[in-house]
Chains A and B, each alone.
Chain A
Amino acid sequence: MRRVVRRVIALWTVAWCAAGVPFVPEAPAVLGARTQQPRTRGEEVIDRMLAVVAGDLIMMSDVAAAVEFGLVPQTAGPDVNRTVLSQLIDRSLMLAEVDRYAPPEPSRDAVDREFASVRERFASAESFQEALARYGVDDASLRATLRANLRLRAYLAQRFSTVPPLDGEIAEYYRRHLDRFSRGGQPRPLDEVRADVIQALELDRRQTMVDDWLAALRRRVTITDVYTPGLH
């Protein structure tokens, strides 16, 4: 079950990275976490460790920030913290690899656009700054995170580019996934959805490659995941 959840999350990650569109989540109260050992009346847990991946620490505030700033594509599920944390773990795994191969440096404009896109999620500059303070980040570190996402996106595009599918492959994919190309219970003609079919087919192929890659990374890299459902 956990593997299926991971696969879904990874699929979203790639789709998100490939499209370059920030996912707008419904921000849950991730930091409304439980107290480990309450001592004082009104004492609350405000942060804690969740995972360590290739030397990168992931904290509860990272998970909350990822949700609020839209830094991960998937922010819904039976256990939001688990869902977001899994995506952050995968991100750290991939970034460790990206650092080894140094993909093209994103332009300053591209980082500015990403930053503006995050900024637009907030009603005012004040609320944006409050959110930054809430998670202990500043403009520079948010920019650095967005830059890392762009590098990751470029790396995935560069490493997992696929050849255009043949007509026969497109037809076969369409036939096998009719439900995904239907409207009102009726399959739409292939000619009408051809572009969508090609996009979905390429995405699937990339995802298979990324899955294999991530599986190899997980075997190679030490991951300490101390998250316990219901405890955090």
Chain B
Amino acid sequence: MRRLWALAVVPLLVATPASADLADFLGKPVARVVVEVEGRPVNDSAMLALLVSEAGKPLRMRDVRASVAHLFSLGRFADVVVHAAVTANGSVSVRYELIPIHEIERMQFAGLAGVAGVDEAAVREALVERFGALPPATRATEMGAFVAEQLQERGYRRASVSARTQLEHTAERSTLVFEVTSGPRTTVSEIRVVGTGMPPDQVIRRLGVARGTAYEPGLLAGRLERIVDTLKQQGHYNARATVTPQFSEDDRVASVLVSVAPGPKIRVEFSGDPLPPDRRDDLVPVAREGAADEDLLEDSAQRIQEFFRSQGYRDATATFTRETQGDDLVVRFTMSRGPLYRVARVDIAGNISLSTSDLAPALRLRDGQVFSAAVLSAQASAIQDIYARRGFPAARAVPDAQPLENPPGPQQVLVVVRIEITEGVRTVVGTVRIEGNTSLATATLTEGLGLQPGEPFYRTQLVIDQDAIQLKYANAGFRSATVSSSPGLSEDGTVADVRFTVEEGPQVFVDHVLIVGNRRTNTDTIRRELQFKSGDPLGLAAIAESQRRLATLGLFRRTRVTELGHGTETSRDVLITVEEAPVTTIGYGGGLETKPVLRGSAAAGGFASEQLEFAPRAFFEVGRRNLFGKNRSVNAFTRVSFRPQNFGGQSTSTAAGGYGFSEYRVLGTYREPRVRNTAADAFLTGTVEQQRRATFNFARRAFTAELLRRITRQTSVTGNYQLQRTELFDERIAENDRLLVDRLFPQVRLSSFSLSAIRDARDDLIDPTSGTYLSANAQVAGRRIGSEVGYLKSYWTGQLFRSVPELHRMVVATSVRVGVASGFPRVGTIVDDEGKEVSATVRDLPASERFFAGGDTTVRGYALDQLGTADTLTGGFPKGGNALVVFNAELRLPVGRGLGLVGFFDTGNVFARTAAIDLGQLRSSLGFGVRYRSPVGPIRVDMGFKANRRPGEDPTAVHISLGQAF
């Protein structure tokens, strides 16, 4: 059946034209409009919606053109043909015939099997690499020629390939059949080697050819290249090799002449003043480039000279000579550094309006430093720029360097650097005018400009502002708007009446928005991320932002926004092409966590000591996104840690000894984006977990409903409600020493609302090098909303990251975390030491909600949760507190190959009450660490040293984990 279709198309291609006058159709009422794909009517409402021609309206060519453009823009059709016919009642029927592209889904080769030396799979792979996985059938001829080339490369010089497409009309795909006639294979009849670089036998052996073997030009060229590489590695940098075949008339045999010209062996030598060995390859890249031509050598000499001059050898020279020694060519660089120049002092003169401290950012040469003319010149330019920014457009800074008469030694010269400044007049912006703007208001255009009345006039800012105005026009759809500027300087140069002149040109509007490529994703899901709609001005910023938003949806492998013009210059269709990503994601991994933990048991009257614990851990994650085509998603995350049972005297509730699943976390999340057509995303999360802390273990089941509203790209607010049930077990503090709340509520139900605001301006979430992170959270739990314990809790975080390019891109990272909480009083009944029931007032938070500190993400000189004051520690074991303060500072230095070194200072503590916060009681640690940038984030090894160690405490703590500390 498919073959019959192919046959049916052929007569159509040779059908004879029939002429008609358009006037016969135009203006007549349209009786019906049909769309057909290869004879099949199209009922897809989305596609039909692209038609502008409508039944009942007069036929207009404008509508026809727009319809053709929209249908063609879908990218699925090789042609769109519009037919019209006058019906019996005088109206017109219109038929849009769509001819599919027929992507090639399958390729078949006839005549290739058994062709010696040709691997069908390799040819297939080469075709996919060149033409893509689903090339259009229109490229069939080109693909046939490519297959013929592949055969010719393998010695079938007379190979011919015809490519025939078999169309499939149901799926609009096709099969491409290559009919291959390979012809005879050319064999090598003779091989001769001329040249001296390598013994002929060795050349022939390395080429892998002999009399009677197949002549394969591609293979020969590759092997010959390797021979040349070998010669270059031996120092023959000018080596050349060629293969010249001579074919018999019938192309059956080839006489091959191989010419190897190694050229001389080139040696690079250095004489005169020494050049550091580790800089030689960079400055004279003869071996790296595999070349020693005149240009490269001249550039090398120049680089050596500049290198020495930048080191303070102002008079340094470097020359090179070529000398033939036997078969070798010796290139010798001769360096003469001359004396070392040092800066004796720097004099700045002529600066009246700006003080020397104002110019300090530009001053890079300082007393005692080596002198560099290039640095001095850059310094003068920087001073001029500072003046220009302050409104002195004519300011000039002329550098000069004069040697002192009595040098400290024969090889040292002291120079006095002098920069003579001529300030000129100061220019202030008088007025800022914009002319020629009719579509955009002057106030809109002047908003945010750098040049404002009363401010210094800076010529570079004039150009920046000119571009800013032009961008505003481009964002409003005026793509060809031009803006020119004039500084309008007064005669004495003190006032600049700045004028911008606008030539607006036409405004371009969005005609239709076409969305293609989405099979599972609902079109509305895509459309609501677009920052433009039909009829809007086609602005640059709107397109860029739309593309960004589509990318952040996470639903697509690729997205492309293309503008399509069709006749009129003032409107364009916008085609959104998406390639959907797989909907199911699976992630898994494992690792080893190493950290110090407290051992011993206060319940047994012991004192806490630290011990290193190794804990294998693993996670598994499965997610399904784009549910119902609406970008909804569900995720399930499971993490388990295998921790030693009965480690260091701590027993878990299960068994003693060995490893067990003492920690786990199972998390299921459902995400509903833009809930009820608002800008907020909703999350429903269920959690089941068990965790081990320093003085207790807990098991928790929680349900959370959260709304997240992104205010800007960096700022978001979230509100959530959480209902949880937490059970404490394996407590390692004697009951009488426990806080009252833990004794009253070993199992507690908490119901809370919380509100958070986050501003995240970091450049990278996992390993930031610049930016800031600020967050504030407030949580309230109360009995009126179903909680057994009520409290107020707030947590604040501020982090700052700065890169220092001058210090090998070192990153300075700092963090401040503050937490405060207060429990609502609640009266409960407990049994006292004498066995009597007494009432007591609870004011603390439950253990699972109290603050703890110490460990790999807080203060790294301490074990997990180890910090506390006398009020929050019992025998060295932490009970947790209602207030927390933690400061961190880190220097992160990349050292190459993904490795980095870190030095850190951490300080912090946990306090029983907010009022008990005492910065004098902060406990500190200093330390260093190593980072390795792995594909899953930085692998971290930190070693912290306690700064004010107490008796019984270990001096150090080692942590191995994933991700930065903060």
Cβ-defined partner of B80 (8 Å) among A41, A49, A102, A105: A49
Residues of B within 8 A of A133 (CB): 26-27, 60-62
Determine the chain B residues whose CB is within 8 A of the CB of A34 once the complex forms.
15-18
> Are A37 and B566 neighbours in the complex by a CB distance under 8 Å?
no
Q: Is residue A57 contacting chain B, with contact meaning CB distance below 8 A? A: yes
For residue B69, which residue of chain A has the nearest CB?
A: A57
Shortest distance from the beta carbon of B12 to any chain A beta carbon, whole Å = 6
Q: Complex: how many Å from CA A55 to CA B572?
A: 10
Interface flag for A231 (CB, 8 Å): yes
Q: Please tell me which one of the listed residues B15, B72, B481 contacts residue A57 in the complex, with CB atoms under 8 A apart.
A: B72
The one of B19, B72, B73, B93 that contacts A29, using a Cβ cutoff of 8 Å: B19
Interface-centre pick from A49, A62, A104 (highest chain B CB count, 10 A): A49
Residues of B within 8 A of A39 (CB): 83, 95
Distance between A69 CB and nearest chain B CB, rounded to angstroms: 12
Instruction: Check if A41 sits within 8 Å of B565, measured CB to CB.
Output: no
Instruction: Take A104-B482, A105-B503, A144-B570 as given contacts and tell me if A59 and B83 are in contact as well, using a CB distance cutoff of 8 Å.
Output: no
Q: Which of B62, B72, B569 contacts A144 (CB 8 A)?
A: B569
Which B residues are in CB contact (< 8 Å) with A134? 22-23, 26, 61
Closest CB in chain B relative to A70 CB, distance in Å: 16
With a cutoff of 8 Å between Cβ atoms, the chain A residues found around residue B66 in the complex are: 136
Assess whether A21 is interfacial by the CB under 8 Å rule: no
Q: Are A151 and B480 in contact (CB under 8 A)?
A: yes
Using Cβ atoms and an 8 Å threshold, which residues of chain A touch B80? 48-49
**Are A43 and B19 neighbours in the complex by a CB distance under 8 Å?**
no
Give chain A residues whose Cβ lies under 8 Å from the Cβ of B455.
none
Q: Is the CB of A46 within 8 A of B82?
A: yes
Q: Does A141 contact B (CB under 8 A)?
A: yes
* Distance between B579 CB and nearest chain A CB, rounded to angstroms: 18
Whether B85 pairs with A42 at a CB distance below 8 angstroms is yes
CB of A147 closer than 8 Å to a CB of B: yes
The docked-state distance in angstroms from the alpha carbon of A39 to that of B93 is 11
The reply to whether B95 and A99 form a contact with Cβ atoms under 8 Å apart is: no
Which B residues contact A (CB, under 8 angstroms)?
12-13, 15-20, 22-27, 39, 60-66, 68-69, 72-73, 78-86, 93, 95, 97, 99, 138, 479-482, 503-506, 562-570, 572
Please name all residues of chain B whose beta carbon is closer than 8 Å to the beta carbon of A49 when the two chains form the complex.
68, 72, 79-80
The docked-state distance in angstroms from the alpha carbon of A134 to that of B59 is 10
Question: Are A40 and B19 also in contact (CB < 8 A) when A105-B505, A136-B65 are?
Answer: no
Q: Can you list 13 pairs linking A and B with CB atoms under 8 Å apart?
A: A39-B83, A44-B19, A45-B83, A46-B82, A49-B79, A52-B72, A55-B563, A57-B69, A59-B69, A99-B479, A134-B23, A147-B569, A231-B13
Q: Which residues of A contact B (CB under 8 A)?
A: 29, 31-49, 52, 55-57, 59, 61-62, 99, 102, 104-105, 130, 133-138, 140-141, 144-145, 147-148, 151, 226, 228, 231
Q: Is B85 a contact of A47 with CB atoms below 8 Å?
A: no
Q: Which residues of A contact B568 (CB under 8 A)?
A: 137, 140-141, 144
* Cross-chain contact of A102 among B13, B20, B480, B572 (Cβ < 8 A): B480
Q: Which residues of B contact A148 (CB under 8 A)?
A: 569
Q: Among B63, B64, B83, point to the contact of A38 (Cβ < 8 A).
A: B83
Question: Which chain A residue lies CB-closest to B62?
Answer: A136
On chain B, the residues within 8 Å of A45 by CB distance are 81-83
CB closest chain-A residue, reference B569 = A144
Closest 7 CB pairs of A and B: A34-B17, A136-B61, A32-B19, A144-B569, A105-B503, A136-B62, A141-B568
Q: Which residue of A lies closest to B66 (CB)?
A: A136
Most buried by A among B22, B24, B72, B79: B22
Contact across chains for A59 and B68 when beta carbons are under 8 A apart: yes
Q: How far, in Å, is B563 (CB) from chain A's closest CB?
A: 5
Contact yes or no, A102 B482, CB < 8 A:
yes
Give chain A residues whose Cβ lies under 8 Å from the Cβ of B95. 39-40, 43
A48 with B18, Cβ < 8 A, contacts A59-B566, A144-B570 known: no
Q: How far is the CA of A140 from the CA of B570 in the complex (A)?
A: 9
Q: A151-B480, A231-B13 are in contact. Are A62 and B85 (CB under 8 A)?
A: no
Report B-chain residues with C-beta under 8 Å of the C-beta of A144. Answer: 506, 568-570
A59 contacts B65, C-beta separation under 8 Å: yes
Residues of A within 8 A of B26 (CB): 133-134
Asked whether B82 lies within 8 Å of A47 as measured between CB atoms, the reply is yes
Query: Please, how many angstroms separate the alpha-carbon atoms of A124 and B97 in the complex?
Result: 36
Q: How far is the CA of A29 from the CA of B85 in the complex (A)?
A: 18
Expressed in whole angstroms, the minimum distance between the Cβ of B837 and any Cβ of chain A is 83
> In the bound complex, do residue A44 and residue B18 qualify as a contact, i.e. CB atoms below 8 Å apart?
yes
Decide: B62 and A138 in contact? CB cutoff 8 A: yes
Note all chain A residues with C-beta closer than 8 A to B63. Answer: 136
Bound together, the chains give a CA A33 to CA B81 distance in angstroms of: 11
The interface residues of chain A lying within 8 Å CB-to-CB of B563 are 55
Q: Which of B15, B73, B504, B572 contacts A35 (CB 8 A)?
A: B15
Q: Nearest chain B CB to A186's CB is how many angstroms away?
A: 46
| Bound complex: CA A231 to CA B563 (Å) | 28
In the complex the two chains form, what is the Cα distance from A147 to B568 in whole Å?
A: 12
* A44 and B85 contact, Cβ closer than 8 Å, known pairs A61-B61, A61-B65: yes
Minimum distance in angstroms from A147 CB to a CB of chain B: 7
Most buried by A among B39, B86, B565: B565
**Cβ–Cβ contact B61 & A44, under 8 A:** no
- Known contacts A39-B83, A134-B23; is A47 also within 8 Å of B64 by CB? yes
Would A145 and B83 count as touching, CB distance under 8 A?
A: no
- The answer to whether A105 touches B480, judged by C-beta atoms less than 8 angstroms apart, is yes
- Cα distance A61–B13 when bound, in Å? 21
Residues of B near A138 (CB, < 8 A) are 62
Residue among A44, A57, A140, A228 making CB contact with B566, cutoff 8 Å: A57
Contact A99 B480 (CB under 8 A): yes
Which of B19, B20, B60, B564 contacts A136 (CB under 8 A)? B60
- For the complex, give the distance between the alpha carbons of A216 and B81 in Å: 32
Q: Which of B27, B62, B479 counts the most A-chain CB atoms under 10 A from its CB?
A: B62
Q: Which residues of B contact A62 (CB under 8 A)?
A: 567
Task: Identify the closest chain A residue to B571 (Cβ).
Answer: A141
User: Do A56 and B565 form a contact, CB below 8 Å, given A46-B22, A99-B479, A105-B482?
Assistant: yes
Query: In the complex, are the beta carbons of A46 and B25 less than 8 A apart?
Result: yes
- Please give 16 more A-B residue pairs, beta carbons under 8 A apart, in addition to A35-B17, A49-B68: A35-B18, A37-B12, A39-B95, A44-B25, A44-B84, A52-B72, A55-B572, A61-B64, A104-B482, A105-B480, A136-B567, A141-B568, A144-B506, A144-B568, A144-B569, A231-B13
